[in-house]
Amino acid sequence: MANPLLDDRDVEFLLDEVLDLSTLTTLPYFADHDRGSFELVLASARRVAREVLYPAYRALDEQPPRLIDGAIHVHPRLKELWPRVRELGLQVATRPSEVGGLQLPTTVFTLATAYLMAANLSVYGYVGLTQGAAHLIEAFGSEALKRDYMAPMYGGAWTGTMALTEPQAGSSLSDVTTTAEPTADGHYLVRGSKIFISAGDHDLADNIVHMTLARLRGAPPGIKGVSLLCVPKRRLEGGKLVDNDVAVTGMIHKIGWRGLPSLALAYGERGDCRGWLVGEPHQGISYMFQMMNEARIMVGLNGVATASVAYQESLAYARDRPQGRPLGARDPATPQVPIVRHPDVRRMLLRQKAIVEGALALLVRASWYSDLAQHGGDARAQLMLDLLTPIAKSFPAERGFEANVLALQIHGGYGYSSEYLPEAWLRDQKLNSIHEGTTGIHALDLLGRRAVAKGGAALAAFAAEVATTCDRARAAGVDAAWIAEVTRGVEVITGLTAALGARGLAGDVEAMMLHAADYLELCSIVAIAWQWLELAAAAKTGRRADRAGFYQAKLAAAQYWIRTELPRIDHLAGLCRSGEDSYGRLDPDWL
């Protein structure tokens, strides 16, 4: 069987049996939608993913774009398939009808785009970047910028980028040095270098719009002096597109995502690079947070999708590959059994399932909160989205990588060869813990800001949401011990956060943050356990008989996560509380 990328039945389960979609469709913004219109979007995304994107994956991985005479040339297959991707209109699907959108819930958009990511991560990259870049102009740009640059991006004719990183400013964006000089004509002259800019050049579209962080002349130092500029590759002059002095100075030779070029760019080498200020001066970082927060959810979904396609492949392989006999079988003349019959292989499959489907449920839940916050004015949903964002970004990246390793392991020696695809997905997956903020940076953000902000309001919202799930699980007849363990997980987080926050308030920020990575992992394990409890409740009351074992497998994965993974939080909490200081007191010169 061809790789299904994502389990369609799981997607239906989330939409029809876990969530109550009427909560969304009764909101005015989504009034034109129903389950039927959602299905149309999902069906077209599935079709393009399976028939167009997945078959091109290996070719794009094997032959990355080429840099010739300062211009990027993508793989010819990508040029052929790009119109099919554009036609889906996903870059504008969630936006209002006034800008050409479908007003589609992010919840449904997330599930539809997961298919495309699982099929071909780097191709989806062009869409995701364009959507985020155009949305920045929609939210903060002038009417002229909306007309000239946002509209062709939303229309699918042009693409967009986020141009933040510089050689000396990666995690530390306050150190951006690209400059923007005001002119009497209303535009700015931009000079500087950017690095790692994905889709920064290509020959898929006539124009590329770089949403660029830069400093205006006289700007204050640090993060409060960074502004957002719209800097096109080609600018509009008298209705024509003319070169805007953005040069490609190098291409990164990446180990994954090889259909999407990531580039070093130089602005203004000829002194003729024009940019237009988006919104107010010095507000660039706060505006860019809109795109970064969206991109973090997208990167989390990249992680889920990349782990999902590998899980599906290893499941099919394990059912197919005969090797060895059951432990109790003594007769060598009996036929070998498929490796899925060995409990250790099932351990690897169930762990992948628990990570992939638990993380997909979390991403869908985060999208659900985004819909309720933006279009339902739901303050608790906004708190939940803020709290979950670093978890929804980092868990699929880190544990997704582990799932990808397990998929390769199930293929044995064949997995360690480029004839099979698990190694390629492993390379793709690794990026997700690096871009859009490294896992280390998200750990600091979660503990240092999001969990303690507003007197811990987000954690209180989290506790309330988990309590609602516990009620549902209880009513569904889920094992009371599972409910008690998830409830205890929330108590562990709440108590630990208060203890660590007190260290920070007492002035010992280093001690508070020393085990931020363990704190992030602990919170992630509990968040996924919460999702598994929710899935278990739906499975327990599930009545559809279309796939034997579907609900039992859900309950097995819930049991696996709650019984084998959740207990790890006590060890992690112990590390955070004790302040175990092996690396804390380590002098770098000793190494």
Per-residue x/- track, 120-159, ligand FAD (CB under 6 A): ----------------------------------------
Looking only at Cα atoms, what is the longest distance across the chain?
Answer: 89
Q: Which residue is nearest to ligand FAD (CB)?
A: 170
Phi-psi sector, 69: left (phi>0), alpha (psi -120 to 50), beta = left
Q: Tell me the closest approach of the beta carbon of residue 66 to ligand FAD, in angstroms.
A: 17
Tell me if 148 sits within 8 A of 236, measured CB to CB. Answer: yes
d(CA 418, CA 61): 11
Q: Tell me the closest approach of the beta carbon of residue 257 to ligand FAD, in angstroms.
A: 6
d(CA 546, CA 383): 37
Per-residue x/- track, 67-106, ligand FAD (CB under 6 A): ----------------------------------------
Stretch that binds ligand FAD, among 196-204, 282-290, 315-323, 563-571 (CB under 6 A): 196-204
HEC readout, 259-302: CCCEEEEEECCCCCCEEEECCCCCCHHHHHHHHHHHHHHHHHHH
Instruction: State how far Cα 185 lies from the chain centre.
Output: 39
- Whichever of 207 and 531 has its CB closer to ligand FAD, that residue is 207
Give kind and range of the element (H or E) at residue 316: helix 284-320
Asked if 198 interacts with ligand FAD (CB under 6 A), we say: yes
| 451 three-state secondary structure | coil
In angstroms, the first-to-last Cα distance of the chain is 51
Q: DSSP secondary-structure letter at 546?
A: S
Asked if 164 interacts with ligand FAD (CB under 6 A), we say: yes
Asked if 209 interacts with ligand FAD (CB under 6 A), we say: no
For residue 242, the cross-strand partners are 235
Tell me if 507 sits within 8 A of 443, measured CB to CB. Answer: no
Asked if 262 interacts with ligand FAD (CB under 6 A), we say: yes
Contacts of 44 (CB under 8 A, 6+ apart): 88
Stretch that binds ligand FAD, among 114-122, 190-198, 392-400, 534-542 (CB under 6 A): 190-198
Q: Tell me the closest approach of the beta carbon of residue 354 to ligand FAD, in angstroms.
A: 26
Q: Tell me the closest approach of the beta carbon of residue 558 to ligand FAD, in angstroms.
A: 32
d(CA 132, CA 111): 17
Tell me if 424 sits within 8 A of 380, measured CB to CB. Answer: no
- Whichever of 46 and 258 has its CB closer to ligand FAD, that residue is 258
Helix runs in 477-567, H state only: 480-505, 509-513, 516-540, 550-560
Q: Tell me the closest approach of the beta carbon of residue 170 to ligand FAD, in angstroms.
A: 2
313 an active-site residue?
no
Asked if 266 interacts with ligand FAD (CB under 6 A), we say: no
Out of 166, 423, 436, 465, which one is annotated catalytic? 436
- Whichever of 445 and 465 has its CB closer to ligand FAD, that residue is 445
- Whichever of 101 and 170 has its CB closer to ligand FAD, that residue is 170
Contacts of 324 (CB under 8 A, 6+ apart): 336, 337, 339, 342
Asked if 251 interacts with ligand FAD (CB under 6 A), we say: no
Using CB under 6 A, count the residues that bind ligand FAD: 19
Per-residue x/- track, 406-445, ligand FAD (CB under 6 A): -------------------------x--xx--x-xx----
Asked if 163 interacts with ligand FAD (CB under 6 A), we say: yes
Residues making contact with ligand FAD (CB under 6 A): 161-165, 170-171, 196-198, 254, 257, 262, 431, 434-435, 438, 440-441
Active-site positions read 436
